A and B are shown apart, each in its own frame.
Chain A
Amino acid sequence: MLEIVILGRGGQGAQTAGNQLARALFDEGLFVQVFATYGGARRGTPVASSLRADTRPIRLRSDITRADALLCFDESLLNEAFLRRGREGALVLVNSAREAADFTVADRRIVPLDGRAIARRNDMGKVVNSALLGGFAAALGQPALESICAVIEQTAPAKVAQNLAACREAHALVAGQLEEMA
């Protein structure tokens, strides 16, 4: 089973990203479960989206405590407590302009991605979720870029072309980084 936790601040689109990622994995033939947890949902408070994907129906109804991958929408939320929700060696994609070497985190594979810069370049303002999704899919190795793009096309409320461009740019950027590292 693949387990993922996405963390963002209310209004940033973490919940939407979780739903879009789940739909793309579902469209590729996997069973999925994705649920958001929040307190009194207010703009700016932390919102987490938990996602499971598997080749068989998912029965587990508990929190994800050993995720295979974490996606962090806001660098200020990248603390110990969040990192502990990932298993040892978990992929952590974080929305940040810093370099991977700037993060001193043991036993986690940190991949920074400057989602804000990509969003700006693609006329998306501060809306980073399509960029982060593209980058995250590249780092994770699934779902395929085209699966993510198909979901964005169906679900983006506006600026579909810009969302797609941001997603593709981020995907290429992260895929390129990983190739260099390999």
Chain B
Amino acid sequence: MNRMLNDDLQLLNGNHAVAWGVRLAGPDVAPVYPITPQTPILEKLIAFQAEGKFDCDLLTPESEHSAMAAAVAASATGARVFTATSSQGLMLMHELLHYASGARMPIVMFNVNRTPAAPWGFWPDQTDSLSQRDTGWVQLYSEHPQESLDTVVQAFRIAEACELPVMVNHDAFYVSHAVEPVSVPEAKAVRDFLPRRERSLWLDTGIGRSIGAPAGQEAWHASRREMDAAMARVEDLTREAGRLWGEATGRAYDVLEAYRMEGAQLAFVTMGSMAGTAREAVDALREAGLAAGMVRLRLFRPLPAAALRAALADIPVALVLDRNFSPGMGGIVHQELAAALYGHDGPRLYGFLAGVGGINVPVERLVALAREYRDAAPTHAPIWLE
């Protein structure tokens, strides 16, 4: 059976889908520096502006560091701010990522996951954003272009509700450059979903006030306690945003997604585009009589630890597929999941470095992996997939 030809789908690549989401969310300021494979986001925003469809101060400063500095400054005035980057660009922003979260700026940033140099590369790999996990940014990971559009809009709602910056990520090429049918929501639906809310603190030339000025130990300590409290709200805010988005568009989201987990004897755990391939592996395994399932982590920071424990409570074996690498330790999702499960009953965990550097991970490889590891000896050591 073919697709309904009267549906509202249009063909967009992942990056253009993001640009559509940003256009609908209507930021006031967007400082962006181009970098492969993020550039099509910026190009599309510029095209929207040239058509008179995107009323935004689109700044193109001389580096990502300056882009984030401009984003922080603009956000401090109470503006809705968007930026986008990838890999080296994200890492050049590093010190200002801490600044943005410490100053409680609800900036939304889209990051296209790409291998960090050296060697130079352009391949899908999440080490760039995962190595920013302690900077105080909320992190979400998208599987496909439609989700990237939907999530960037939801990110503004989450950021502005908790006054923390939110980074949404999708994989280079497999999502960023994948042209697929995407449904673009009505502008009014997005406006209703994303009302403007007054900030608790902003800079105004008419008011004597400063943000981020030197603080004593007590005040600095208090700032982190407040961030902690804000982070504690993010999981519920993400669920709420996902539920309301579902009501508005028919596409609901949660902090994680359980795929065919009913009665599963083995689960893949992964993030981003790998989940699509894992779905096919789960279906193939079920067809062949092995009850497999998948848990896809959508919200990575804050880590929804209790939800992960609940999703994996009765599963004997979990295979974590990490398209990232922390040298000396292994896969980052594997470490995080092991920490979340520590002291609780949970599955026997295996951590796979799967697709690091963007190498291909086909369905058959995942099917073979499930068969090989369902009864294997336990190990905490990371396992490289060739």
Contact = CB atoms under 8 A, between A and B. Distances in A.
- A and B from one complex: yes
Given A23-B11, A65-B362, A31 B179 contact: no
Nearest to B171: A61
A35 interface: yes
A31 B2 CA distance: 8
A33 B280 CA distance: 15
B361 interface: yes
A132 B2 CA distance: 26
Interface string B350-381: 00000000001111000000000000000000
A89 interface: no
Contact of B11 (A22, A36, A62, A65): A22
Given A58-B180, A59-B280, A31 B173 contact: no
B95 to A, nearest CB: 28
Contacts of A23: 11
B277 A61 contact: yes
B363 A33 contact: no
Interface string B217-231: 000000000000000
A38 B172 CA distance: 11
B360 A32 contact: no
B2 A34 contact: no
B1 A55 contact: yes
A19 interface: yes
B215 interface: no
Nearest to A36: B177
Contacts of B273: 61
Contacts, number: 77
Interface residues of B, number: 32
B174 interface: yes
Contacts of A35: 13, 173-174, 177-179
A33 B122 contact: no
A34 B276 contact: no
Nearest to A59: B276
A173 B14 CA distance: 37
Contacts of A55: 1-3
A35 B274 CA distance: 15
Contacts of A19: 11, 179
B149 to A, nearest CB: 15
A32 B363 contact: no
Nearest to A56: B1
Interface in A24-39: 26, 28-39
Nearest to B273: A61
A32 B9 CA distance: 11
A33 B175 CA distance: 10
Nearest to B123: A37
A81 B199 CA distance: 57
B179 A65 contact: no
Interface in B166-201: 171, 173-175, 177-181
A107 B178 CA distance: 30
A3 B82 CA distance: 36
A31 B276 CA distance: 15
A20 B204 CA distance: 50
Contact of B181 (A32, A36, A61): A32
A37 B173 contact: yes
Contacts of A181: none
A60 interface: yes
B88 to A, nearest CB: 13
B361 A33 contact: no
B23 interface: no
A26 B178 contact: no
A40 B363 contact: no
A23 B180 CA distance: 9
Nearest to B5: A29
Nearest to B174: A61
Contacts of B1: 55
A63 interface: yes
A62 B363 contact: yes
A26 B3 CA distance: 9
A63 B179 contact: no
Contacts of B5: 29
Contact of A26 (B11, B13, B177, B360): B11
B250 to A, nearest CB: 14
A28 B275 CA distance: 28
A62 B277 contact: yes
A34 B178 contact: yes
B276 A30 contact: no
Given A40-B36, A61-B174, A61-B175, A32 B276 contact: no
Contacts of A36: 173, 177
Contacts of B144: 59, 61
14 contacts: A19-B11, A19-B179, A26-B181, A29-B2, A29-B3, A32-B180, A34-B178, A34-B179, A36-B173, A38-B122, A40-B120, A59-B280, A61-B143, A61-B277
Closest 4 CB pairs between A and B?
A: A29-B2, A61-B276, A61-B273, A35-B178
Interface of A: 19, 22-23, 26, 28-41, 55, 57-63, 65
Interface of B: 1-3, 5, 11, 13, 36, 120-122, 143-144, 171, 173-175, 177-181, 273-277, 279-280, 360-363
